[in-house]
Amino acid sequence: MIQLNLVKVGMADLNIATDGAILKTTGLGSCVGLTLYDPIRKIAGMAHVMLPSSEIARETKMNLAKYADTAIPELLDRMIAAGAYVERMKAKMAGGAQMFAMSGQSDSLRIGPRNVESCTEMLSKFKIPIISQDTGGSFGRTVEFDSNSGMLSIRSVQFGTKEI
């Protein structure tokens, strides 16, 4: 997607887009690119979630976008402030890869799968359906989310580009 109105979402960041702007984030390995969309108002949101739970936060000023349990409510607040309705929202997500194979797989090393699980649980709490996802595997992704169509474009070196 080549688009003039590009809104970049960095690692442990979130943002919203309207008026046909494209949200883009790169470097999704174990991180999850979570998108929310109100198809009537055409308001899109994206969070680049790094970790599943803010319970492990050690920073003095909490970065709400970094954790699934705080990023999703913050993204919802911003989208609602822009005119979106939670009742109409649909979610898509990509990423959550298991980037390193390790024997004995302790839960603390399953960051990607735990990020996906945590995002899924939070969306369930808000009754937001996940209509499509491209998660897991052991490869990185770059995603672009179109605020006009709600299309999520996923690019990876191994598998090229696909749209969901």
- Alpha helices (H) along 8-159: 68-81, 111-125
Handedness of CA 70, 29, 115, 151 (dihedral sign): positive
Q: Identify whether 119 is a catalytic site residue.
A: no
From 28, 31, 75, 84, the catalytic residue: 31
What whole-number distance in Å separates Cα of residue 164 and Cα of residue 154? 8
The helix/strand/coil state of 93 is strand
Instruction: Work out the angle at residue 141's Cα, subtended by the Cα atoms of residues 153 and 96, and round it to the nearest 5 degrees.
Output: 110
CA of residue 54 relative to chain centroid, distance: 16
Burial of 84 from C-beta contacts in 10 A (0-12 / 13-18 / 19+):
buried
Indicate which residues carry an active-site annotation.
31
